[in-house]
Amino acid sequence: TQVVFITEDVAAKFREWSKRGVRFHRVPRLKRIKYEPQPAKSAAASGGSGAQTSDSAAPAMSPGEQSPIWGGTFAAFKDLDGNSFGLMSFDHVSREIEAQRRAIAEKLESERRVAQELEIAKQVQARLFPQTLPPLRTLEYAGICLQAREVGGDYYDFLELGRERLGLVIGDVAGKGIAAALLMARSQCAIALDQPQRFLRSVNQLFHENTTDGAFATLIFAEYDDKVGRLRYANCGHLSALLLRSDDTLERLDSTCSVLGLFKEWDCSIGERRLLPGDTLALYTDGITESFNGAGEEFGEQRLIEALRRHRELSSQALLASVVDDVQQFSPHEQQDDITLIVAKCRRN
**Could you give the residue ranges of the DSSP H alpha helices within 129-237?**
178-187, 196-210
User: What domains appear along the chain, each with residue ranges and CATH number?
Assistant: 2-94 (no CATH), 130-346 (3.60.40.10)
More confident residue, 347 or 52: 347
Among 119-133, 141-155, 212-226, 321-335, the minimum mean pLDDT is found in 119-133
- pLDDT for the residue 211: 67
- pLDDT for the residue 209: 79
pLDDT of 42 higher than 70 = no
Question: What average pLDDT does the chain have?
Answer: 74
pLDDT of 263 higher than 50 = yes
- The CA radius of gyration of the chain, in Å to the nearest whole number, is 35
Pair type for strands 2-7 and 84-90: parallel
Among residues 180, 177, 198, the alpha carbon closest in space to that of 189 is found at 198
Could you tell me the sign of the dihedral formed by the alpha carbons of 106, 110, 111, 113, in that order? positive
pLDDT of 151 higher than 90 = no
Among 97-111, 290-304, 324-338, the minimum mean pLDDT is found in 97-111
Collapse the DSSP code of 85 into the 3-class scheme (helix H, G, I; strand E, B; otherwise coil) and give the result.
strand
Grade residue 217 by pLDDT with cuts at 50, 70 and 90.
confident
Q: Give the residues across from 86 on adjacent strands.
A: 3, 76
Q: Give the residues across from 328 on adjacent strands.
A: none
- Averaged pLDDT, 115-144: 76
More confident residue, 130 or 293: 293
- pLDDT for the residue 85: 53
- pLDDT for the residue 139: 95
Output the CA–CA distances (angstroms, integers) from residue 220 to 68, 120, 129, 171, 305, in the order listed: 61, 26, 15, 6, 19
pLDDT of 54 higher than 60 = no
- pLDDT for the residue 176: 52
pLDDT of 74 higher than 80 = no
Residues 6+ apart with CB under 8 A from 149: 338
- Averaged pLDDT, 223-230: 95
Cα gap 307→343, rounded to integer Å? 12
More confident residue, 321 or 74: 321
pLDDT of 169 higher than 80 = yes
Output the CA–CA distances (angstroms, integers) from residue 199 to 42, 169, 177, 193, 258, in the order listed: 82, 12, 19, 7, 15
Grade residue 153 by pLDDT with cuts at 50, 70 and 90.
confident
Pair type for strands 165-174 and 154-160: antiparallel
- Averaged pLDDT, 181-204: 65
pLDDT of 288 higher than 90 = yes
Around Cβ 345, how many Cβ atoms within 10 Å? 25
Cα gap 67→93, rounded to integer Å? 14
- pLDDT for the residue 102: 85
Grade residue 126 by pLDDT with cuts at 50, 70 and 90.
low
Helix axes 316-330, 300-310, angle to 10 degrees: 140
Cα gap 337→286, rounded to integer Å? 8
- pLDDT for the residue 41: 41
Give residue 147's region: left, alpha or beta (phi > 0; psi -120 to 50): beta
Percentage with pLDDT > 70 across the chain:
60
Q: Give the DSSP letter of residue 41.
A: -
Query: Residue 327 — φ and ψ, nearest 5°?
Result: -65, -45
Residues 6+ apart with CB under 8 A from 303: 326, 330
> For residue range 233-262, what is the model confidence (pLDDT) as tens digits?
999 999 999 999 999 999 999 999 999 888
